[in-house]
Homo-oligomer: A and B are copies of this chain.
Amino acid sequence: MKNFLLVLTCWLGLVSAWAQTPAVEQWKRFETSWRGPTAGNPFTDVWLKATFTNGRKSVKVKGFYDGNGLYKVRFMPTEPGSWTFVTESNVKALQKKSGQFTCKAPTNENHGPVRVRDTYYFQYSDGKPYHPFGTTAYAWTHQPQALEEQTLTALKNSGFNKIRMCVFPKFYAHVINEPPFYPYERKGTKNDFSRFNPAFFEHLEKRVDDLAALGIEADLIIFHPYDKGHWGFDSMGTENDLRYIEYLTARLSSFQNVWWSLANEFDYIKTKTRGVWDTYSKAVVANDPYRHLCSIHNGSVYYDYWKPEFTHVSIQNGSVIEEAGRAVLLRDVYNKPVVYDEVCYEGNVPQRWGQLSGEEMTHAFWQGIMAGTYITHGETYMDPNQVIFWAKGGPLKGTSPARIAFLRKLVEAAPRPYELADPWKDHQTAVADSSHYLIYLGKSIQPEWEFSLPKKSGPAAGKSFQVELIDTWDMTITPLSETFVIDKPEAYRIFDTKRKKIRLPLKPYLALRITEIAAK
């Protein structure tokens, strides 16, 4: 009877604990807060840390001051089950605070943070492949609310699943408006770099969550050169820069869809040397217990992307994606995923970096995908109200986004990521596996195409294949009635046993998807 009562008590205790314990989905955000001191400067005087554990794994996160006497800790659980935590602090009110929560299985479109996969590619934490088809709206979170909502609508209706965006507001041609929120407390036009403005970060966080709801990764640009003394966020000095990194990562590391981009055009920020960037990269990594994807983006000069802080390469180069033979070269150098995060933009501004046609922008995406790399979109159409997507967001006006979305579907339908099948010789033929090829004819207009694949890791003789004609501009996929039978290899190529050819429409931007017909 005594034992029975003990068991019953325990059981009731568990039920009660269960009922009281908050529940958070795996890779979603647990947040808790306490009241603490408001005197002095809470941003610099107080530190707060919490250690979360599920018994097997222990993760230390930094808390942050959220204003109004409130101190917060956020945490992204990476394993389901019961988690507990306890705090440390230099002030009594925040010491030894403890609690627990339950991490539930992820639901619906919650696949966790994106990670590197197979050297050159990406996948979500649950193993679902992720192919970045990104766009760019550097200052979209620094606009009036209605415009920000327009941006979200445009993104929702596009195929983009990543966006490059600056934490700090941007002061540059076509974007000279003051932002609704400033990152620091201000007196007139003077920032107090020792006091953050929590409302600024709350707003940013809301927008990052808005993107998450649309399945879009937020490639957050921590520093950028588009300030030029207007606000001074590009020249705050090392101490303030590092405090900013610590605050930003404490607030946003627990957001599953965050990527860190140390800078846009780092080499155009003349106040920081390479040594400083190394320090900042290390600081971001040290302060992000989840090790989100992290890179740095260049102007004219590349960064040292082989350094271990960088999970992938984020390069600006407008010429590299004119053909897959160029795009593929940097994969071999870095042995990391290569994202060409600026390859000129579709639009009609006077600057040549913003003058691509929709065809050229789409072509760039195709060349990148063939090469096993990724491209980021941007749009710079002149606008009477100065609402240019690349800067402020708003509606998308260009012709490439629909074609990019079409390509994304093709890529996601392939059994594996594409890459050039014979990268030193054939820059038109990408392979997923030996049962699935994609040939992109690009600008070449030719009346026919002879069935031909690289011998390298190619299909065995006797296998049958079907071909679909893809019009990358009209976004049509037309299965051809002919089937093709693989002959024995001849030198470095594989042909159909009857050397069959396909008639092609006399148009540019065609592709062929070539897939094995499963034996019956």
Contacts and interface: CB of A to CB of B under 8 A. Distances in A.
Given A306-B304, A306-B306, A326-B326, A425 B319 contact: yes
Given A318-B425, A319-B423, A326-B326, A302 B352 contact: no
A318 B325 CA distance: 11
Interface stretch (A26-34, A45-53, A255-263, A328-336): A328-336
A509 B470 CA distance: 36
A424 interface: yes
A492 interface: yes
A329 B332 contact: no
A518 interface: no
A452 interface: no
A318 B352 contact: no
A491 interface: yes
Interface in A138-196: none
Interface centre among A317, A319, A325, A427 (most CB of B within 10 A): A319
Contacts of A332: 301-302, 317
A487 interface: no
A323 B317 CA distance: 16
Contacts of A317: 329, 332, 424
Interface string A307-324: 000000000011110110
Contacts of A326: 325-326, 329
Contacts of A304: 306
Interface residues of A, number: 23
A50 B99 CA distance: 70
Interface string A241-262: 0000000000000000000000
A319 B325 CA distance: 7
Contacts of A424: 317-319
A317 B326 CA distance: 12
Given A304-B306, A306-B304, A352-B491, A329 B318 contact: no
Nearest to A420: B319
Contacts of A318: 424-425
Nearest to A350: B491
Contacts of A492: 352
Nearest to A492: B352
Contacts of A427: 319
A170 to B, nearest CB: 23
Nearest to A427: B319
A299 to B, nearest CB: 11
A323 B333 CA distance: 18
Contacts of A423: 319
Contacts of A322: 325
Interface in A19-58: none
Interface string A479-520: 000000000000110000000000000000000000000000
Contacts of A491: 352
17 contacts: A301-B332, A317-B424, A318-B424, A318-B425, A319-B325, A319-B423, A319-B424, A319-B427, A320-B329, A322-B325, A323-B325, A325-B326, A329-B329, A330-B333, A333-B333, A352-B491, A352-B492
